[in-house]
């Protein structure tokens, strides 16, 4: 009987934290206290601001908070002046952002003195790669929250409205003010009336939260749905069609933000199909949306099947057009020159285009970082990118400074993140993937934030102590949950780089959705720049992509003194070594070890680090509700197995070229290379 009682007590303690599915994100219901909110003006947005304070206030009971819209030159755009009991802004949206900031600081325990908080970027946008049939390209959290297929695909339900409102609230709480509602590989259907009616319904829900709706458009739409014989941007009928379409959209969505365009890239139509330039196409669209204050975000992700280094092609294609774009055209450039790799140097277009507005494009969804399986906190990667010095305007010309308007004169500034949001109950698939949505918003608002602060905020708001775990002291929670989990998050991206592609290796994935190792994958009739051997260049002499003057000369696109720093082996950061150099297997690194030994050590270290994460999370069980704890625990187990496949597959494959033994102090491979290659082939086929 005694044992039964003890077992029941153990079970009750195990489930002492109320079950959660993660749907509330970092906006979990608080235990609010009374507050008096004073605001002289009224509007839907101000009503939301007052409502949020009244629902979530955890400051001094009975306190009064004033919300004041008053012109102040020190406050820029939708920025705000914030203090313990007052928020002042130039705009209603600024008031709302200030309210969420005040509530965040209460929840995280941050000391608040009066300060002005201005956004780093004017337009802080989520790019949804959602298709009109409800699927999501590179989506790992279920189907689209905006679109679905079936007979009632375009019917707007109350459930739709509730979900969109929750989505809008989450975005506004971190300062995101724009959403591109559909995939850059756009369907022409999005511009037809039936779909635009649904766009209107979505935009009506987003508007009070300060969020503008944008659309990705297919460049050939005039011919596909407009009845025209061409989509040539210099054809007057085509230009008129787009102007009429912009008028139609604006009549439905008066605050429509503009267009996002993927053109002449990966088979998508564009102005080059008609012998025109990117500037010709972008400017034609920019003229159509300009009367309504709209912008055109024109993606620079272009590369052709040529012998030129894929990392160099966007620079060569866009630099000759610098200064030819309208002032409401923004060139959207991926953070790195290849494709959202776990680690890349910044694209050389940042800072080089001095007469054209350029915006960073980050990828929140984990296309190359383990989908919704791997725990990967991406703020350190984005911080590394934003603070990289381009030297384009002398020392201190960071990517952030080159894109936020502080160095080059520009009418707009913007930053975009490819969303990781879907219909899963927790929105993002992995509970910790929510932190990347949060981190993007925080960095878009303040590009100088440190990853440690962002992680600290997110953990406190997402897993913070509640009334359900009163037996756990604040000291206990901070020491045994907050500190180790935060360290795990901060180390997670580097651990993935280590077990996937250390020392500058890149794009050596299996073709199976960019998941799992595939350095061997090279079907005979496949384009070489779509295969891993093109990128790792492993042979008996060494490994790495030579991008110096003796190779592709991609380094010539970077400004001095960075160019010389990266060219010189003694000064090139080792994290980019094999990105820029093809080196012998016995090349000595700063550690004194050979390149081969160092590669093996990194691969092994990545595996060991994921196992450490498992231990950290297993010890967190008493601090987390059961459902979320088990969900993360299972994914970490899967990640640990994935890491082992990466280590064994890459080390054994590269060993065929190095012909050197794996250092004997490291864990031995448990997989056979033939087994991993066969497993990969069965998943993806030969793609002959």
* Enzyme catalytic residues: 266, 339, 367
3-class DSSP assignment, residue 114: coil
**Cβ(610)–Cβ(643) below 8 Å:** yes
3-class DSSP assignment, residue 154: coil
Query: In 581-622, which residue ranges form alpha helices assigned H by DSSP?
Result: 595-618
> Ramachandran region of residue 137, left (φ > 0), alpha (ψ -120 to 50) or beta?
beta
Max CA distance (Å), the chain: 88
DSSP-derived secondary structure letter, 273:
G
C-alpha 145/C-alpha 148 separation (Å) is 8
The three state secondary structure string of 476-518 is HHHHHHHHHHHHHHHHHHHHHHHHHCHHHCCCCECCCCCCCEC
Residue 114 CB contacts under 8 Å (≥ 6 apart), including other chains:
81, 82, 83
Which of 676, 684, 614, 678 lies closest to 651 in space, CA to CA? 676
Residue 77 CB contacts under 8 Å (≥ 6 apart), including other chains:
90, 91, 94, 118, 119, 122
Which of 228, 267, 288, 312 lies closest to 555 in space, CA to CA? 312
C-alpha 87/C-alpha 74 separation (Å) is 14
Which of 137, 132, 170, 143 lies closest to 425 in space, CA to CA? 143
C-alpha 241/C-alpha 272 separation (Å) is 19
DSSP-derived secondary structure letter, 469:
G
C-alpha 285/C-alpha 297 separation (Å) is 10
C-alpha 40/C-alpha 673 separation (Å) is 70
**How many Cβ atoms are within 10 Å of 674's Cβ, its own excluded?**
9
Query: In 347-409, which residue ranges form alpha helices assigned H by DSSP?
Result: 379-386, 399-403
**Cβ(78)–Cβ(97) below 8 Å:** yes
C-alpha 406/C-alpha 663 separation (Å) is 49
Q: Which residue has the tokens 């923004």?
A: 330
C-alpha 282/C-alpha 250 separation (Å) is 19
C-alpha 290/C-alpha 256 separation (Å) is 11
**Cβ(375)–Cβ(636) below 8 Å:** yes
DSSP per-residue string spanning 185-235? S--GGGGSHHHHHHHHHHHHHHGGGT-EEEEEE-TTHHHHTS--S---TTS
Q: Tokens in use for 157?
A: 């339900």
Q: CA-based angle 612:618:624, to the nearest 5?
A: 130
Which of 410, 379, 441, 364 lies closest to 100 in space, CA to CA? 441
Intra-chain end-to-end CA distance of the chain, in Å: 67
Q: Is the dihedral of CA 441, 443, 445, 449 positive or negative?
A: positive
C-alpha 198/C-alpha 133 separation (Å) is 13
């Amino acid at each position: 009987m005694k044992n039964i009682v003890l077992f029941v007590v153990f079970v009750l303690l195990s489930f002492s934290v109320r079950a959660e599915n993660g749907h509330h994100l970092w906006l979990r219901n608080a235990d609010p206290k009374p507050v008096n909110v004073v605001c002289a003006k009224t509007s839907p947005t101000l009503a939301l601001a007052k409502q949020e304070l009244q629902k979530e206030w955890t400051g001094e009971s009975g306190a009064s908070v004033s919300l004041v819209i008053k012109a102040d030159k020190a406050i820029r755009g939708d920025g705000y002046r914030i203090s313990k009991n007052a928020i002042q802004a130039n705009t209603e949206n600024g008031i709302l952002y200030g309210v969420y900031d005040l509530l965040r600081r209460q929840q995280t325990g941050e000391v608040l003195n009066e300060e002005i908080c201005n956004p780093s970027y004017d337009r802080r946008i989520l790019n949804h790669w959602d298709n009109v049939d409800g699927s999501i390209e590179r989506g790992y959290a279920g189907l689209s929250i905006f679109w679905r297929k079936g007979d009632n695909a375009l019917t707007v339900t109350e459930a739709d409205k509730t979900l969109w409102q929750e989505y809008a609230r989450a975005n506004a709480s971190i300062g995101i003010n724009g959403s591109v509602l559909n995939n850059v590989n756009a369907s022409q259907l999005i511009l037809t009336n039936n779909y635009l009616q649904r766009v209107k319904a979505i935009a009506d829900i987003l508007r009070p939260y300060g969020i503008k709706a944008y659309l990705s458009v297919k460049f050939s739409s005039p011919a596909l749905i407009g009845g025209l014989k061409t989509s040539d941007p210099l054809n007057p009928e085509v230009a008129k069609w787009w102007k009429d379409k912009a008028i139609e959209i604006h009549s439905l969505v008066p605050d429509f933000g503009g267009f996002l365009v993927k053109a002449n890239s990966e088979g998508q139509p564009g102005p080059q199909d008609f012998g025109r330039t990117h500037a010709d196409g972008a400017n034609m669209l920019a003229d159509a949306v300009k009367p309504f204050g709209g912008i055109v975000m024109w993606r620079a992700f272009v590369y052709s099947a040529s012998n030129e280094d894929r990392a160099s092609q966007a620079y060569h294609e866009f630099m000759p057009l610098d200064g030819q774009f309208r002032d409401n055209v923004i060139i959207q450039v991926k953070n790195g020159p290849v494709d959202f790799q776990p680690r890349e140097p910044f694209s050389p277009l940042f800072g080089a285009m001095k007469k054209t507005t350029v915006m960073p494009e980050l990828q929140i969804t984990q296309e190359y970082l383990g989908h919704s399986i791997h725990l990967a906190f991406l703020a350190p990667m984005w911080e590394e990118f934003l603070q990289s010095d381009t030297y384009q305007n002398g020392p201190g010309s960071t990517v952030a400074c080159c894109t936020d308007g502080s160095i080059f004169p520009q009418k707009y500034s913007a930053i975009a993140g490819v969303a990781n949001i879907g219909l899963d109950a927790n929105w993002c698939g992995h509970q910790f993937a929510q932190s990347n949505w949060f981190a993007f918003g925080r960095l878009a608002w303040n590009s100088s934030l440190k990853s440690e602060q962002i992680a600290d905020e997110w953990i406190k708001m997402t897993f913070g102590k509640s009334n359900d775990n009163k037996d756990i002291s604040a000291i206990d929670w901070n020491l045994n949950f907050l500190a180790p989990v935060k360290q795990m998050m901060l180390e997670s991206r580097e651990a993935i780089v280590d077990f996937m592609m250390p020392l500058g290796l890149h794009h050596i994935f299996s073709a199976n959705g960019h998941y799992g190792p595939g350095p061997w994958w090279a079907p005979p009739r496949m384009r070489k720049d779509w295969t891993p051997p093109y990128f790792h260049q492993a042979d008996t002499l060494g490994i790495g992509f030579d991008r110096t003057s003796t190779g592709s000369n991609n380094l010539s696109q970077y400004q001095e003194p960075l160019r010389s720093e990266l060219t010189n082996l003694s000064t090139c950061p080792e994290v980019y070594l094999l990105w820029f150099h093809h080196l012998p297997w016995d090349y000595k690194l700063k550690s004194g070890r050979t390149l081969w030994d160092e590669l093996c050590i990194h691969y092994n270290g990545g595996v060991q680090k994921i196992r450490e994460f498992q231990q950290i999370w297993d010890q967190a069980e008493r601090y987390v509700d059961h459902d979320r704890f088990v969900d993360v625990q299972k994914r970490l187990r899967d990640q640990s197995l994935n890491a082992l496949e990466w280590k064994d597959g890459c080390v054994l494959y590269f060993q065929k070229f190095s012909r050197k033994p794996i250092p004997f102090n490291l864990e031995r491979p448990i997989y056979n290379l033939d087994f991993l290659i066969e497993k990969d082939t069965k998943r993806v086929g030969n793609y002959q």
